[in-house]
Amino acid sequence: MTAFDDWRARSPFYDETHEALAASVRRFVAKEIAPHIDRWEAEGELPRELHRKAAEAGILGLRYPEAYGGHSEGFDIFHGLVVTEELAAVGAGGLGASLMTHGIGLPPILALGSEELKQRVAPPVLAGDKIIALGITEAGGGSDVANLSTTAVRDGDVYFVNGGKMFITSGMRADWLTCAVRTGGAGAGGISLLLIDMTAPGVSRTRLDKMGWRCSDTAAIHFDNVRVPAANLIGTENGGFMGIVRNFNGERLGMAMGCCAYARVAMAEAADWAQQRQTFGKPLVGHQSIRIKLADMERQIEATQAWVDLCAWQVREGRDRPADFAMLKVQATRMLEHVAREAAQVLGGASYITGSKVERIYREVRVNSIGGGSEEIMLDLAGRQLFGGAR
């Protein structure tokens, strides 16, 4: 163990239960993921069986209610951060994004859905038998969620859905889609959430190729007069926007934690390379300029992790505010971008050849800066909440 990889042991937020969980997830990653991740990256998706194995290992259901097949007793928000950290060890961001896609697709149902809907959907998802995704983003809207255009028109006990969604994580493999639709007038007040069966007639999907997150299948989804039972309405009609918004803080905190985790993976690979690589008669780390790079990478990771942990504590204590999560996401993504760049500089030409974790992480920097709300929108959101100003 080196000075930079024992951060949990030096934190007041983590104890022996978090370390025990970390060890368990680490064993799962070493056995079930690490030997196959390069192949899954090449194939462009994860096997469905991995979801079942992750459920059996207690990963999918962590911090979800026991009534629906999860296990929440004795687990806090920091246990969730531990899982994010350990899944990052293979250096493939698409793994966490796709394997844990229920983390954004299921919460609106558990928070707002009917008991029948919860019982129908949550147990098979948490058992790894079904995959659920979240459908918010549209080709013409991006982060402008309040102006989405996919429509759902009610006729008796069904809705007819028309339109499309873009950049949907797990969109090719998803059995269900928690989908934002327009059921009312313009703006946030006309949005509802529907659970759409992805095998329903009229649903079509197109696989999207990507620069990074390659083992995570991503889709453009089109709806052509798709019939959705009214019983699949999540919450109230025209009350879906708040169901979307309540997801944002958790998603941004998770992304920030992921940035810290992948930055540590990149730094570890760079540090190992610097200790092994000989240049001008001494190890690379023997050069002052390289030590400065590594120390500055560590400085930025530690500072960002401290903010992640503070925001997680604020959530646990009910003291959180949206502006903090918006700014944290920008801090974390910019930190990862810097660390990935500097790690690549340390590795030199080796970082440009497929096979290193740094090469893969470097390609995945941009998705973190864009997904879950772009830097510009995050900073404007924080500015409006903290300092006022016109919307």
| Selected catalytic residue, list 41, 86, 138, 251 | 251
Strand, coil or helix: 200: coil
Nearest to 143 by CA among 258, 222, 254, 248: 248
pTM greater than 0.85 (yes/no): yes
Q: For each of the chain's 391 residues, which pLDDT tens digit applies?
A: 344 568 899 999 999 999 999 999 999 999 999 999 999 999 999 999 999 999 999 999 999 999 999 999 999 999 999 999 999 999 999 999 999 999 999 999 999 999 999 999 999 999 999 999 999 999 987 667 888 999 999 999 999 999 999 999 999 999 999 999 999 999 999 999 999 999 999 999 999 999 999 999 999 999 999 999 999 999 999 999 988 888 888 899 999 999 999 999 999 999 999 999 888 888 889 999 999 999 999 999 999 999 999 999 999 999 999 899 999 999 999 999 999 999 999 999 989 998 899 999 999 999 999 988 889 999 998 999 899 876 5
Catalytic residue status for 251: yes
Are the C-beta atoms of residues 112 and 193 closer than 8 Å to each other? Answer: yes
Burial class (CB in 10 A: 0-12, 13-18, 19+), 288: exposed
Give CA–CA dist 61/39, Å, rounded. 26
Name which of 289, 183, 166 is nearest 241 in CA terms: 183
**Which one, of 217, 223, 212, 251, lies nearest residue 358 by Cα?**
212
